[in-house]
Amino acid sequence: MEPVRETIGQSIASVTAEKPDQPAIVHGELGVRYTYGQLWRESGRIARGLLSSGVGKGDRVAIWGPNVPEWVFSMLALARIGGVMVPIDPGAKGENLGYILKQSECRGIILSGSSRKEILREIHPGLPDLKVVVSMEDTLSAGMVSWNQLKAVGEESDLEQLEKAEKAQRSEDPIAIMYTSGTTGNPKGVVLDHLGLVNKSLFATERQGVDGSDRLCLFFPLFHMFGNTCIALAGLLRGATLVMPSRDFNPGRVLQVISEEKCTAIYGSPSMMVALLEHPAFDKGNWQPVRKGIVGGASCPMALMKRLVEEIGISDITVGYGLTETASWITMTHPGDPIELRVSTVGTPLACNEVRVISPSTGEVLPTGTQGEICARGFVMKEYYKMPGATKAAIDREGWLHTGDLGEMDADGYVKITGRLKDVIVREGVEIYPVEIEEVLYELPDIIEAQVFGFPYPEKGQEVAAWVRLKEDAPISIDGITSYVRKRVPPKQAPRYYKIVSSFPMTRSGKIQKFKLAQMAVGEYTDSPGV
Percent of the chain as helix, strand, coil, to the nearest 5: 35, 25, 40
Q: Cα–Cα distance between 397 and 63 in angstroms, integer? A: 33
What's this model's pTM, rounded to 2 decimal places?
Answer: 0.85
pLDDT tens across the length of the chain (531 residues): 999 999 999 999 999 999 999 999 999 999 999 999 999 999 999 999 999 999 999 999 999 999 999 999 999 999 999 999 999 999 999 999 999 999 999 999 999 999 999 999 999 999 999 999 999 998 777 789 999 999 999 999 989 999 999 999 999 999 999 998 654 467 899 999 999 999 999 999 999 999 999 999 999 999 999 999 999 999 999 999 999 999 999 999 999 999 999 999 999 999 999 999 999 999 999 999 999 999 987 778 888 999 999 999 999 999 999 999 999 999 999 999 999 999 999 999 999 999 999 998 888 999 999 999 999 999 999 999 999 888 998 999 899 999 999 999 999 999 999 888 877 898 988 888 887 898 899 889 999 889 999 999 987 889 999 999 999 889 999 999 999 999 999 999 999 999 999 999 987 766 788 889 999 999 999 764 333
Report residue 330: phi and psi, to 5°.
Answer: -105, -50
In what side-by-side order are the strands of the sheet with 401-409? 354-358, 372-377, 401-409, 415-420
Q: What is the DSSP string of 276-313?
A: HHTSTT--GGGGTT--EEEE-SSPPPHHHHHIIIIIS-
Residue 185: the pLDDT is 61
- The pLDDT assigned to 143 comes to 86
The size of the chain, in residues, is 531
Give the SS3 label for residue 325. helix
pLDDT value of residue 99: 95
Q: What is the dihedral of CA 32, 88, 40, 291, to 10 degrees?
A: -60
pLDDT reported for residue 184: 47
Write phi, then psi, for 515 (nearest 5 degrees): -65, -30
Residue 169: how many CB atoms within 10 A of its CB? 20
Predicted local distance difference test score (pLDDT) of residue 530: 39
pLDDT score recorded for residue 140? 79
Distance CA 480, CA 457 (A): 25
Yes or no: say if 297 and 226 are a contact pair by the CB < 8 Å rule. yes
Alpha-carbon span 209 to 177, nearest angstrom: 28
User: Measuring CA to CA, how many Å separate 531 from each of 147, 172, 273, 467, 525?
Assistant: 59, 56, 39, 20, 8
C-beta atoms surrounding 121 within 10 Å: 14
**Dist. CA 241–CA 129, nearest whole Å:** 36
Return all residues near 531 (Cβ < 8 A) that are at least 6 apart: 457, 458, 525
Residue from 329, 10, 378 nearest 201 by CA: 329
Q: Which of 147, 137, 85 is nearest to 116 (CA)?
A: 137
What distance in Å separates the CA atoms of residue 380 and residue 377, rounded to the nearest whole number?
6
Provide the residue type at 226 as one letter. Answer: F
Secondary structure of residue 457 in the 3-state scheme:
strand
pLDDT value for 439: 80
Distance of CA 427 to the CA centre of its chain: 32
Pick the closest to residue 304 from 276, 327, 329, 332 (CA basis): 276
> Under DSSP, is residue 52 helix (H, G, I), strand (E, B) or coil?
helix
Spatial contact of 275 and 266, defined as CB atoms under 8 Å apart:
no
pLDDT in the model for residue 531: 39
Domains of the chain: 8-311 (3.40.50.12780), 427-525 (3.30.300.30)
